[in-house]
C-alpha cells in the first residue's frame, strides 16, 4: 500500500502543471503494478481497478456511436430529469460559465442529453466528444465525472490524470448522481467540466448540493401528485366498505380507509384491473383511477393463499439491482435501493439466516450497528411480506431463490462499501462464524 493518498485540497493549492505531473506519475505507477509513494484517492483507485478488470484501454479513447437527434429528443422527453432541468440550470449554469466550465446532464445509461455553459469550453467539448448523444458510461470511456457517479451512486471529482483514459487528462470534472426519491431509482447524473486549470475543490460540493435540490423538487412534485390523487379518491373511499386505499402508479398511498396507512405497495409489473395478490395485504381487487389505482382488500381470502414462491435477485446490471417475485397470482418487479440490494444479496447467499449483529458486521464491519440493520430490515420486510422471515433474518424456506450475478465479479454492486460485498468482488472467502441464534 502507498504511504499516503492524494486529496483534493492538496491538488487545489498546487500549480496546475505540477498537480497534473504528480497525477500522471501516480497513474503510471498504479497501472504498472508498482507501489507509488503517494496513492490515488480511494474512489479513483476503485474505478481504475474496475477499468483494468474490464479491459478498458488507458491509452486509447474508445467511443460508441453518438445517438441520432430523434433518439436524443425521445430520451429527453421521457427523462424525469426534464422536470428538474430548470433547477439544475439555476444552481449551476452561471457558476459554470464564470468558472469556464460547462454543465452536462446525462441519463442513467451515461448518454449526454443536455449541455450548456461557456462557449469556448463547449467548442473544446466538441473536439473531445463531450456532446449530446455521446456515451460517457464508465465502462465505455473510463473514470469520469458522468459515468463514475452512475456506477457508485456517489458524487465524485475527477481531475486531470485521475481520468483513466489519457486523452481526458486536460479536463477536470465534478459530477453527482440524481436519485428518484420516490423509489430510489437512478435517473442520471449532472456534471460540471472544464479545462484542468479551472479546477476548484468547492465545485464538487456545489454539484452535490444542486443534485440534492433537484431530488427535493422531484419529491415536492410527487407530494403534489399524491394530493391530486387523494382529492379524486376521497369520495370513492368514503363509500367503500372494509379496507381500501388509493395508490399512485409506483404504489405510494394517497388515501386509505378501514386500515392503518401502509408503506409503499409492491404493484405487479404490469398492473391491470381485477384480483391480484399484493404484499403485504394478500388478495386485492384493483380498479384504475386517474394517476393511480383503487385497491380493495379481499378480507375473505386467505392472505397467504397466493403468496409468491420464487424470488429472483438480479444484480447483473451494475447500477440497477432489482428483485422479481412470481407466484400463481402474477409477477412483481421493482428496483432496489442500494442498501436493500446488499441485504437481499447477503440473505440469498446464506439461506440459513443471519442475525442483526452478523448483518451489521457484513455491512459495516461493526456488529454493534444493529439498530440500523433492524430498521432497514423492517422496511424490507414490509415490502416483501411472506417472503422474508426473522429470528434470524432469512428468506423463507418455501421460497425458491435465484441470484443473477454480473459476468465479472468486480461489477457486483459497485456502489457498495460493505466488507462482505468487497470480499465477493475479489473472490476472498468469508471468515467462518457461528450460526445465527
Residue 72 has pLDDT above 60, yes or no: yes
For 153: left if phi > 0, alpha if psi spans -120 to 50, otherwise beta; the answer is left
Q: Which of 26-30, 216-220, 293-297, 368-372 has the lowest mean pLDDT?
A: 26-30
> Is the Cβ–Cβ distance between 273 and 287 less than 8 Å?
yes
Residue 433 has pLDDT above 80, yes or no: no
Beta carbons within 8 Å of 15's beta carbon, 6+ residues apart:
none
Q: Which residue has the cell 474512489?
A: 43
Q: Which residue has the cell 384493483?
A: 286
As a whole number, mean pLDDT of residues 257-284 equals 84
- 40 or 154: which leads in pLDDT: 154
pLDDT for res 9: 65
- 136 or 263: which leads in pLDDT: 136
Q: pLDDT tens for residues 329-374?
A: 667 787 888 899 999 999 999 999 999 999 999 999 999 999 999 9
pLDDT-based confidence at residue 435 (cuts at 50, 70, 90) = low
pLDDT-based confidence at residue 150 (cuts at 50, 70, 90) = very high
C-alpha grid cell, residue 220: 415536492
As a whole number, mean pLDDT of residues 292-320 equals 79
As a whole number, mean pLDDT of residues 250-257 equals 93
Percent residues over pLDDT 70 in the chain: 92
d(CA 225, CA 49): 43
Max avg pLDDT among 23-32, 246-255, 328-337, 426-435? 246-255
Residue 302 has pLDDT above 60, yes or no: no
pLDDT for res 77: 96
pLDDT-based confidence at residue 17 (cuts at 50, 70, 90) = confident
Q: Which of 47-51, 278-282, 338-342 has the lowest mean pLDDT?
A: 278-282
Q: pLDDT tens for residues 151-205?
A: 999 999 999 999 999 999 999 999 999 999 988 889 999 999 998 887 777 899 9
**3-class DSSP state for residue 169?**
coil
> Is the Cβ–Cβ distance between 173 and 191 less than 8 Å?
yes
**3-class DSSP state for residue 125?**
helix
pLDDT-based confidence at residue 436 (cuts at 50, 70, 90) = low
pLDDT for res 303: 47
pLDDT for res 146: 97
C-alpha grid cell, residue 316: 447483473
Q: pLDDT tens for residues 376-397?
A: 998 888 777 678 888 899 999 8
Amino acid at each position: 500500500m502507498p504511504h499516503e493518498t492524494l486529496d483534493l485540497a492538496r491538488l487545489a493549492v498546487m500549480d496546475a502543471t505540477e498537480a497534473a505531473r504528480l497525477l500522471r506519475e501516480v497513474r503510471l505507477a498504479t497501472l504498472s503494478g508498482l507501489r507509488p509513494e503517494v496513492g490515488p484517492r480511494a474512489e479513483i483507485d476503485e474505478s481504475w481497478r474496475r477499468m483494468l478488470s474490464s479491459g478498458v484501454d488507458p491509452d486509447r479513447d474508445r467511443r460508441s456511436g453518438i445517438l441520432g437527434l430523434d433518439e436524443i429528443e425521445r430520451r429527453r422527453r421521457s427523462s424525469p430529469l426534464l422536470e428538474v432541468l430548470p433547477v439544475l440550470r439555476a444552481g449551476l449554469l452561471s457558476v459554470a460559465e464564470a468558472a469556464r466550465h460547462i454543465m452536462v446532464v446525462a441519463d442513467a445509461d451515461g448518454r449526454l442529453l443536455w449541455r450548456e455553459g461557456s462557449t469556448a469550453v463547449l467548442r473544446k467539448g466538441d473536439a473531445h466528444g463531450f456532446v449530446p448523444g455521446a456515451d460517457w458510461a464508465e465502462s465505455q470511456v473510463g473514470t469520469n465525472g458522468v459515468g463514475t457517479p452512475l456506477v457508485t451512486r456517489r458524487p465524485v471529482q475527477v481531475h486531470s490524470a485521475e481520468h483513466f483514459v489519457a486523452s481526458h487528462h486536460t479536463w477536470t470534472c465534478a459530477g453527482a448522481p440524481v436519485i428518484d426519491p420516490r423509489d430510489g431509482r437512478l435517473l442520471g447524473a449532472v456534471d460540471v467540466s472544464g479545462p484542468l486549470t479551472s479546477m476548484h475543490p468547492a465545485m464538487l460540493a456545489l454539484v452535490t448540493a444542486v443534485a440534492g435540490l433537484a431530488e427535493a423538487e422531484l419529491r415536492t412534485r410527487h407530494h403534489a401528485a399524491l394530493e391530486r390523487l387523494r382529492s379524486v379518491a376521497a369520495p370513492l373511499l368514503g363509500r367503500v366498505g372494509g379496507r381500501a386505499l388509493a395508490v399512485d402508479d409506483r404504489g405510494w398511498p394517497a388515501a386509505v380507509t378501514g386500515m392503518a396507512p401502509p408503506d409503499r405497495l409492491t404493484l405487479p409489473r404490469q398492473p391491470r384491473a381485477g384480483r391480484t395478490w399484493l404484499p403485504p395485504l394478500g388478495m386485492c381487487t384493483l380498479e384504475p383511477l386517474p394517476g393511480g389505482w383503487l385497491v380493495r382488500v379481499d378480507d375473505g381470502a386467505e392472505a397467504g393463499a397466493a403468496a409468491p414462491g420464487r424470488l429472483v435477485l438480479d444484480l447483473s446490471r451494475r447500477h440497477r439491482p432489482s428483485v422479481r417475485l412470481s407466484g400463481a397470482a402474477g409477477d412483481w418487479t421493482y428496483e432496489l435501493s442500494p442498501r436493500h440490494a446488499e441485504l437481499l444479496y447477503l440473505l440469498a447467499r446464506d439461506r440459513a439466516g443471519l442475525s442483526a449483529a452478523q448483518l451489521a458486521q457484513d455491512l459495516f464491519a461493526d456488529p454493534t450497528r444493529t439498530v440500523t440493520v433492524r430498521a432497514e430490515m423492517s422496511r424490507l420486510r414490509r415490502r416483501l411480506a411472506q417472503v422474508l422471515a426473522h429470528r434470524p433474518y432469512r428468506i423463507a424456506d418455501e421460497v425458491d431463490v435465484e441470484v443473477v450475478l454480473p459476468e465479472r465479479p468486480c461489477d457486483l454492486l459497485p456502489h457498495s462499501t460493505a466488507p462482505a460485498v468487497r470480499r465477493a468482488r475479489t473472490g476472498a472467502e468469508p471468515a467462518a462464524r457461528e450460526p445465527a441464534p
